[in-house]
């Protein structure tokens, strides 16, 4: 018998009860796969040493950057390169899959009331 | 004006014309995000030093492992831990998003007629 279990990022994101509070779903080497439920805007910030992948599971996300914005619909993704200042904005509730290095701080070089520690991000998902 | 462009892994995978021939869509630090179109089985193999993430974009994938198999439907994912021998099998055509380190060989420690070099995986996608 295998104990291997499929993971549904969409279900995990939908089960989240708190906005802007990413949770770690899986590790791939030194990268974390996270899900988050977001609405409104996070904060302008940058990750000087780490790229960050955003994949929209549900809804729409606008990633504002100084050179312009990218609009992501369901199933679309974008990688914000290291060092690029960005601000994720969702006019309506949006569910995301994120890929970040273990070392990445989700609000990068700024701390806001939305900043969550890695311990908070590693808490079990609702329903687990 | 921004030159930032959303990427649709599902569209990129659907546009592939060759089975079992992953293409690199994006880089996140030292990880590659790839898409692949698969049908049938690849080969039993392991990646001694790298985890590998499989996310099903369309269809179904069974990842056979010595301790048992995991079945993935659309939107579901699984991380095969480093060192675990596995064989991806799709009874019908299946579209995948993969996350692997740059150093990962897609057929791991074996070479088959399906093995593709990294240069082959870095070719532009069809339609680009």
Q: Looking at residue B87, which CATH number applies to its domain?
A: 2.60.120.10
Q: Chain B residue with minimal CA distance to A81? A: B28
In this structure, is residue A42 part of a structural domain?
Answer: yes
Q: What is the DSSP string of chain B?
A: ------B-HHHHHHH--STT--EEEEEETTEEEEEEEEEEE---B--TT--EEEEEEES-EEEEETTEEEEE-TT-EEEEPTT--EEEEEEEEEEEEEEEETT--TTTT---TT---HHHHTSPPTT-
Sign of CA dihedral A99, A76, B100, B2: negative
Per-residue pLDDT at A14: 96
Give B107's pLDDT tier (boundaries 50, 70, 90).
confident
Q: Kindly state whether residue B45 falls inside one of the protein's structural domains.
A: yes
Beta partners for residue A72, in sequence order: A61
Assess if residue B104 is contained within a domain: yes
Half-sphere exposure of B43 (CA within 13 A, CB side): 16
B128 — pLDDT class (breaks 50, 70, 90): low
Q: What is the model's pLDDT at position B3?
A: 67
**Is A3 a domain residue?**
no
Residue A51 lies inside a defined structural domain of this protein: yes
Q: Is the pLDDT of residue A25 over 70?
A: yes
Quick check: is A127 in a domain?
Answer: no
| 8 Å CB contact of A2 and B53 | no
Q: How confident is the model at residue B113 (pLDDT cuts 50, 70, 90)?
A: confident
Contact A9 B75 (CB under 8 A): yes
User: Which residues in chain B have their CB less than 8 angstroms from residue A65's CB?
Assistant: 2, 4
Q: Percent of chain B, pLDDT > 90?
A: 67
Q: What is the pLDDT of residue A40?
A: 94
Distance from CA of B5 to the nearest CA of A (A): 6
Q: DSSP labels for A30-83?
A: TEEEEEEEEEEE---B--TT--EEEEEEES-EEEEETTEEEEE-TT-EEEEPTT
Tell me the two tokens of residue B126: 């069809």
Interchain contact, A69 vs B4, CB within 8 Å: yes
If contacts are CB pairs under 8 Å, which of residues 30-89 in chain B contact chain A? 31, 33, 50-53, 55, 57, 63, 65, 67-73, 75-79, 82
Is A99 within 8 Å of B31 when comparing Cβ atoms? Answer: yes
Residue B127: predicted pLDDT: 64
Residue B118 lies in a domain: no
Distance CA(A96)–CA(A60), nearest Å, equals 9
Q: Could you report the predicted ipTM of this complex, rounded to two decimals?
A: 0.86
Residue A49 resides in a domain? yes
* Domain span holding position A26: 10-121
Span B58-78, pLDDT tens digits? 999 999 999 999 999 999 999
Q: Which residues is B66 bridged to in the sheet?
A: none
State the pLDDT at residue B34: 95
- The whole-angstrom distance between A84's CA and the closest CA on chain B is 12
CA distances from A126 to A15, A23, A28, A122 (A): 6, 10, 22, 12
pLDDT exceeds 90 at position B101: no
Compare B113 and B36 and report the one with higher pLDDT: B36
Q: Inter-chain contact A9–B71, Cβ cutoff 8 Å?
A: no
The answer to whether residue B85 scores a pLDDT higher than 80 is: yes
Model-level pTM?
A: 0.88
Which residue has tokens 């991000």? A121
What separation in angstroms does the CA of B117 have from each of A54, B19, B23, B28, B91?
27, 14, 10, 20, 25
CB contact (8 A) between residue A3 and residue B82: no
Measured between CA atoms, the residue of chain A closest to residue B60 is A6
Min Cα distance B22 → chain A (Å) is 18
CB pairs under 8 A between A and B: 113
Assign B1 a pLDDT band (cuts: 50, 70, 90): very low
A63, pLDDT greater than 60: yes
Report residue B67 as tokens.
Answer: 């301790």
Round to whole Å and give the CA distance between A97 and A85.
20
What pLDDT, on a 0 to 100 scale, did the predictor assign at position B116? 79
Q: How many domains, chain A? A: 1
Q: How far apart are CA A74 and CA B109, in angstroms?
A: 36
**What residues in B contact A76, CB-CB < 8 Å?**
6-8
Whether the pLDDT of residue A1 is over 50: the answer is: no
């Amino acid at each position: 018998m295998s104990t291997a279990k499929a993971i549904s990022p969409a279900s995990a994101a939908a089960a989240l009860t708190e906005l802007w509070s990413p949770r770690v779903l899986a590790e791939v080497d030194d990268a974390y796969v996270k899900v988050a439920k977001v609405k409104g805007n996070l904060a302008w910030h940058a990750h000087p040493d780490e790229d960050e992948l955003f994949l929209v599971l549900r809804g729409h996300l606008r990633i504002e950057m100084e050179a312009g914005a990218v609009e992501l619909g369901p199933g679309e993704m974008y990688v914000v390169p290291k060092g690029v200042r960005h601000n994720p904005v969702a006019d309506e509730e949006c569910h995301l899959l994120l890929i970040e290095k273990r070392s990445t701080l989700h609000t990068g070089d700024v701390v806001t009331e939305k900043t969550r520690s890695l311990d908070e991000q590693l808490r079990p998902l609702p329903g687990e």
